[in-house]
């Protein structure tokens, strides 16, 4: 079965102010590298927008209405110092959440082996009622709840290897043992959450890394803190919050990962998914702000997914 790539041209219409790192060129760089001959076996499909019912499993209706009401017709609307909406942002955010739900549908029904959502804006900083860190709707969290509500998944795992801690995902699932959240991230660094001692209902597994940590340190943290616990959890679905800003080239952080590290974690998560949930894996793009590092890392990640 193929790997599914979900994308949409409207993801490019979420505009940000000049100099903002979360810019449309991120997806253009990914689009270019995924047009290479070695990716021709990907099944490609356009995302469709999430509906309010899907989003409301993670975000209150009042928050969804606030995001809709804030969306500007022209220019920018600022939600915080880093997070702004343009005229195309609302559509892009709805499509990002919708791509994650469609990916779950296709994987859970066995039509594809796994799926990668090449979407923006990212999502893992979006808390229940707070947009922040370039994020509006928490795509990975919405995907997890969709798997439970629409497909009867009892245990869903979200593994986050973005260099920034997914405070939003942790917030949404803090007291819910049906969802496993594991995160490697640089600390200290934005948003300042993700302590080793943050364990929620025994379902939160944080592995903070110091600036300068390389792939060996990353892999050891994944093994010792997250992967073994994930096996004990026995997930029905594995969702990756696939951020590539831990790459050595990235301007927003100071970890030293390279493409092979992203291949490594992808293969290991696929192996666990093969063992416990018939290989069901959904990957959702999060960060990554050096265009070359992002493109090369995404290519390594998707090549691993295609090797299922």
Task: Give residue 19's pLDDT band: very low, low, confident or very high (50, 70, 90).
Answer: very high
Q: Has this prediction a pTM greater than 0.95?
A: yes
pLDDT of 214 above 80? yes
Q: Could you tell me which of 117, 56, 158, 151 has the C-alpha nearest to residue 285?
A: 117
Dihedral class, residue 220 (left if φ above 0, else alpha if ψ from -120 to 50, else beta):
alpha
User: What average pLDDT is seen over the chain?
Assistant: 98
Q: Determine the Cα–Cα distance for residues 148 and 139; give it in Å rounded to an integer.
A: 14
pLDDT band of 149, cuts 50, 70, 90: very high
Could you report the per-residue pLDDT of 195-212, keeping only the tens digit for each? 999 999 999 999 999 999
pLDDT (average), residues 287-308: 97
At 151-181, the pLDDT tens digits run 999 999 999 999 999 999 999 999 999 999 9
Peptide bond just before 250 cis, omega within 30 deg: no
Per-residue pLDDT, 176? 98
Give the model's pLDDT for residue 1: 87
pLDDT above 80: residue 308: no
Calculate mean pLDDT across residues 207-229. Answer: 98
- Say if CB 212 and CB 190 are below 8 A apart: no
The answer, yes or no, to whether residue 99 has pLDDT greater than 80, is: yes
Q: What is the model's pLDDT at position 34? A: 98
| Residues 38-58 pLDDT 10s | 999 999 999 999 999 999 999
State yes or no: is 20 an active-site residue.
Answer: no
Domains delineated in the chain:
3-306 (3.40.800.20)
The predicted-structure confidence for 236-266, as pLDDT tens digits, reads as follows 999 999 999 999 999 999 999 999 999 999 9
- What is the per-residue pLDDT across 60-96, written as a single tens digit (0 to 9) for each? 999 999 999 999 999 999 999 999 999 999 999 999 9
- CB contact set of 287 (below 8 Å; sequence gap of 6+): 22, 122, 134, 162, 163, 164, 243, 244, 245, 252
State the average pLDDT over residues 289-308.
Answer: 97
Task: State how far the Cα of 17 lies from the Cα of 21, in Å rounded to an integer.
Answer: 9
Q: Exactly one of 59, 125, 185, 301 is catalytic; which is it?
A: 125
């Amino acid at each position: 079965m193929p790997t599914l790539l979900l994308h949409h041209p409207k993801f490019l219409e979420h505009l940000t102010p000049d100099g903002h790192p979360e810019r449309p060129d991120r997806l253009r760089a990914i689009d270019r590298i995924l047009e290479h001959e070695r990716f021709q076996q990907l099944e490609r499909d356009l995302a469709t927008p999430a509906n309010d019912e899907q989003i409301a499993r993670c975000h209150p209706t009042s928050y969804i209405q606030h995001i809709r009401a804030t969306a500007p017709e022209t220019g920018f609307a600022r939600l915080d110092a880093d997070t702004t909406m343009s005229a195309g942002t609302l559509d892009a955010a709805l499509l990002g959440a919708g791509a994650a739900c469609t990916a779950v549908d296709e994987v859970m029904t066995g039509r594809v082996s796994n799926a990668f959502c090449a979407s923006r804006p990212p999502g893992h900083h979006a808390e229940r009622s707070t947009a922040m860190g370039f994020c509006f709707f928490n795509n990975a969290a919405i995907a997890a709840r969709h798997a439970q509500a629409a497909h009867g998944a009892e245990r869903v795992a979200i593994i986050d290897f973005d260099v920034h801690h997914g405070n939003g995902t942790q917030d949404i699932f803090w007291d819910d043992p049906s969802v496993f959240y594991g995160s490697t991230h640089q600390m200290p660094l934005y948003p300042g959450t993700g302590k080793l001692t943050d364990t929620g209902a025994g379902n939160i597994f944080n592995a903070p890394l110091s600036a300068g940590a390389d792939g060996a340190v990353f892999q050891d943290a994944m093994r010792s803190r997250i992967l073994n616990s994930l096996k004990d959890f026995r997930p029905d679905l594995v969702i990756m919050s696939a951020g590539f800003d831990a790459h050595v080239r990235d301007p927003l952080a100071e970890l030293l990962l390279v493409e092979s590290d992203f291949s490594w974690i992808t293969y290991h998560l696929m192996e666990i998914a093969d063992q416990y949930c018939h290989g069901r894996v959904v990957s959702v793009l999060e960060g990554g702000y050096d265009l070359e590092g992002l493109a090369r890392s995404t290519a390594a990640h998707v090549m691993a997914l295609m090797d299922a």
